[in-house]
Amino acid sequence: MADVTLKDVAVRAGVHVATASRALDPDRRHLVNAETRQRVEAVARELGYRINVLARGLRKGSTGLIGVVVADLGNPFLPPILRGVEEVLGPRGYLIAVSETHEDPETLRRVCEQLVARRVEGIVISAAHAGDGDFLATVEQSVPVVLAVRRVSGGGHHTVTHDDVLGARLVTEHLVKLGHRRLAQLRGPQDVSSFAGRARGFQDVLTEYGCTEVTTGEPAREPTTAEGRRLAAALLAAGGPRPTAIVAQNDLMAIGALDALGEAGLRCPEDISIVGYNDAPLTGHLTPPLTTVRLPSHALGRRVATTMLSQLDQNQEPPTTVALEPELVIRASTAAPADEEPEVVRAVRSRDRREARRR
Amino acid sequence: MADVTLKDVAVRAGVHVATASRALDPDRRHLVNAETRQRVEAVARELGYRINVLARGLRKGSTGLIGVVVADLGNPFLPPILRGVEEVLGPRGYLIAVSETHEDPETLRRVCEQLVARRVEGIVISAAHAGDGDFLATVEQSVPVVLAVRRVSGGGHHTVTHDDVLGARLVTEHLVKLGHRRLAQLRGPQDVSSFAGRARGFQDVLTEYGCTEVTTGEPAREPTTAEGRRLAAALLAAGGPRPTAIVAQNDLMAIGALDALGEAGLRCPEDISIVGYNDAPLTGHLTPPLTTVRLPSHALGRRVATTMLSQLDQNQEPPTTVALEPELVIRASTAAPADEEPEVVRAVRSRDRREARRR
DNA sequence: CTGAAAGCGCTAACAC
DNA sequence: GTGTTAGCGCTTTCAG
């Protein structure tokens, strides 16, 4: 607990604190006589001196702290993002303070207040909901903000995200090309841009290919296994034609759907194909291994950090939104529908029939 | 970026900064005339004043920062721990700064330096290796340290951990009671106390019940799926009698073992039972669902935080080690060995035979 | 109840 | 090259 101050070092080294300060600062050491500097350094080491970052920050008006606000630390795509952020910001001397909102807007507010009061130099937010734009604008008056993963409606913020529309297109087209024409979607909370984007990609493909959506109506209250199971069960229990494929907006809901299928005595992919989103750990080890969408989370983290750096360097660039491209991961939970024939097959058949009649 | 200072508020409210300071501090507001206080509060709100935590910290000698050092943020048992820590420390006004070491001792050192320089008030470390005791003792001279999850050899630190010996006993005994007598162990790096403890629990049970260990010799370099698979494959490829059960020291290695089994054309649990450790997400959804050990991580986080709090409150209690009890989760990856009969069955049989002879 | 003054530990001007 | 002085924004005596 012994707090050695710069003054202690200076006295012991027989110099003024200012000199000691210079000698110990990498950026100003060259202003000091080499011999003096070495003496100061020696004493500092001997006394176990550690600079008080607080005092320096107060004087220089900088804390070297970057706040990162996430919705849920348990989300498995976060670690690669955090690692990417840290990889870039750490070597620049920044320390990362992580806070969690649990998806609660009130907590988001509180946490941002906290961070601003602590004079963090920037805030990375990956916990935004669609309607948080106005609030974030006020935060941005105090400190640079970079949105990660989730956008807010209205734009106007530096944003680095995944291209969710594209990702959803990728999986949905994959299913359509397998021959699926009646698809259902398991939606997450639509005030989160990721889920909203995935919904749009899905819809777009359905429209383009003239497919039918079988719908349960409501989205999941939370994007969890339990909710996925509940929604999928409702889907299967409903009257009317069953979908041949289910697009879950994340892996957890896909797993819930898998459970619901099993309980209904149906098989995946024989009876119904299921896809997830995120490529969470172990999804490749499920039965069946899950077809899903892989996100470049680590790259996203790095990109978030560089975006933040350029803001910190006062490069007053206008807000941009960059969307990184996800990747389709095809595994065994998707196959051609059993009761319906793929387009090509049908085309061939009808041609055959036509020819047969002609003879 | 407008930084409103206390002075600004004071001037505007027509009072001295000291008065403004008192009026705005929950602990000293009662020292101020109610009317004055309200005026100050109004102005503060109006101007958007936010206290500069740095300046206050410098003056009061406290930062309200707690450092948390983890080995790998991707580890799925961390979030509940972090949440537990935050739940307890957050309401007390502490902010959590999370850093990662990637299991590198050098990084651990650097990170601790950083945190001390920033005058964090306490450091929670769940990234310790067995040999870090001496280093941590030096850190402890500057700031309270609480070890989470992993101990260091030699003791002498406030430690909150899981009872790994017990956990390993639980799964191993479960296997023995199913009738297994030839078991193998997939070990993680033994300089991490968690893995070392699990090794001991396993050995203890084997000794007590007179079972045989089939060994691959080396532990995993990293406790990953790939390593688990490699070690399990080596185990299966080796000459000599095959184990009927494999105890992996974490779920990832267990999954690797599952893979290796599949590749060798063997089934789990029919040919070999496999158990994991940690009860990571989705382990219940694997094929077969994995028998494993569930850790009270959330409770551990809370306990870590309260231990830290009592240290911060200067309660100079001597270092204690508390080990929280894990829980056995039996699923479908374990069954009685095919070629060997469970104890009870054998007992019943031999009794039957005896009785048969008597007639 | 409020104001004046000092100072937390450091760095930035400015002198010498 | 090095010392002097001032002050970052706040809290804390100590007066009044």
**Single-letter code of the amino acid located at B342:** P
Q: Which two tokens stand for residue B102?
A: 């990637």
**Pairwise CA distance, residues B84 & B261, whole Å:** 37
Element of type H or E holding A204 = helix A193-209
List chain B residues with CB under 8 Å of A263: none
The pLDDT assigned to B34 comes to 92
Nearest CA in chain B to A262: B285
Residue ranges in chain A modelled with pLDDT below 70 = 1-2, 339-359
pLDDT of B72 > 60? The answer is yes
Burial class (CB within 10 angstroms; exposed 0-12, middle 13-18, buried 19+) of A270: exposed
Of B55, B97, B285, the CB nearest to A95: B97
Q: Find the angle CA(A218)-CA(A223)-CA(A229) to the nearest 5 degrees.
A: 70
Domains of chain A with CATH codes: 6-51 (no CATH), 60-157+298-325 (3.40.50.2300), 164-294+328-343 (3.40.50.2300)
Nearest to B69 by CA among B138, B10, B139: B139
pLDDT tens-digit series, residues B125-181 = 999 999 999 999 999 988 999 999 999 999 899 999 999 999 999 999 999 999 999
- Is residue A186 within 8 Å of A248, Cβ to Cβ? yes
Of A54, A86, A287, the CB nearest to B57: A54
pLDDT of B342 > 70? The answer is no
The pLDDT assigned to B43 comes to 94
Please state, rounded to an integer, the average pLDDT across all residues of chain B.
92
Q: Judge whether B87 is closer than 8 Å to chain A, CB to CB.
A: no
Q: Judge whether A284 is closer than 8 Å to chain B, CB to CB.
A: no
pLDDT of B36 > 60? The answer is yes
The pLDDT assigned to A339 comes to 60
Give the residue nearest to nucleotide C3 (CA to C1').
Answer: B16
CB contact under 8 A, A73 and B96: no
The pLDDT assigned to B351 comes to 45
List chain B residues with CB under 8 Å of A142: 1-3, 50
Q: Judge whether B62 is closer than 8 Å to chain A, CB to CB.
A: no
Q: Judge whether A342 is closer than 8 Å to chain B, CB to CB.
A: no
CB contact under 8 A, B142 and A2: yes
Of B1, B65, B74, the CB nearest to A142: B1
**Pairwise CA distance, residues B253 & B224, whole Å:** 5
Which of the four pLDDT bands, split at 50, 70 and 90, describes residue B339? low
pLDDT tens-digit series, residues B198-220 = 999 999 999 999 999 999 779 99
- Is residue B175 within 8 Å of B183, Cβ to Cβ? yes
CB contact under 8 A, A86 and B100: yes
Q: What 3-state DSSP class applies to A245?
A: strand
**Pairwise CA distance, residues A135 & B137, whole Å:** 45
**Pairwise CA distance, residues A284 & B341, whole Å:** 34
The pLDDT assigned to A348 comes to 44
Q: How far is B209 from chain A (nearest CA, A)?
A: 34
- Which strand C nucleotides have any atom less than 7 A from protein CB atoms? 1-5, 7-13
- Cβ-Cβ contacts under 8 Å between A and B: the total is 133
Please state, rounded to an integer, the average pLDDT across all residues of chain A.
92
pLDDT of B357 > 50? The answer is no
Q: Judge whether B55 is closer than 8 Å to chain A, CB to CB.
A: yes
Burial class (CB within 10 angstroms; exposed 0-12, middle 13-18, buried 19+) of B301: buried
Q: Judge whether B336 is closer than 8 Å to chain A, CB to CB.
A: no
- Is residue A84 within 8 Å of A301, Cβ to Cβ? yes
pLDDT tens-digit series, residues B296-329 = 999 999 999 999 999 998 777 899 999 999 999 9
Report the distance from CA of residue B12 to the C1' of nucleotide C1 in Å, as an integer.
19
**Pairwise CA distance, residues A184 & A213, whole Å:** 5
- Is residue A183 within 8 Å of A205, Cβ to Cβ? no
CB contact under 8 A, A83 and B97: no
The pLDDT assigned to A93 comes to 85
DSSP states of B133-197 as a string?
HHHHHHHHTTS-EEEES---TT--SEEEEE-HHHHHHHHHHHHHHHT--EEEEE---TTSHHHHH
CB contact under 8 A, B95 and A97: yes
Of A50, A97, A119, the CB nearest to B52: A119
Q: Judge whether A26 is closer than 8 Å to chain B, CB to CB.
A: no
Nearest CA in chain B to A111: B95
Q: Judge whether B97 is closer than 8 Å to chain A, CB to CB.
A: yes
Give the mean model confidence (pLDDT) for residues B98-107. Answer: 94
List chain A residues with CB under 8 Å of B255: 282, 285
The pLDDT assigned to B37 comes to 93
In the block, which residue shows the tokens 């989760």?
A: B329
Task: Kindly list the distances between the CA atom of residue A344 and the CA atoms of A161, A332, A353, in Å, as whole numbers in the listed order.
Answer: 37, 22, 14
Q: Which two tokens stand for residue B132?
A: 């870090």
Best residue in B49, B54, B250 for a mutation probing chain A (most A CBs within 10 Å): B54
Looking at the DSSP assignment, which residues form a beta bridge with residue B247? B185, B275
CB contact under 8 A, B117 and A258: no
Instruction: Show the DSSP H helices in B180-322 as ranges.
Output: 193-209, 225-237, 251-263, 297-312
List chain A residues with CB under 8 Å of B119: 52-54
**Pairwise CA distance, residues A295 & A163, whole Å:** 9
Q: Which residues lie closer than 8 Å to A292 by C-beta, 6 or more apart?
A: A171, A251, A254, A275, A276, A277, A278, A279, A280, A283, A329, A331
**Pairwise CA distance, residues A141 & B291, whole Å:** 52
In terms of pLDDT, which residue wins out, A232 or B353?
A232
pLDDT of B336 > 50? The answer is yes
Q: How many other C-beta atoms lie within 10 A of the C-beta of residue A337?
A: 22
Rounded-to-5 percentages of helix, strand, coil across chain B: 50, 15, 35
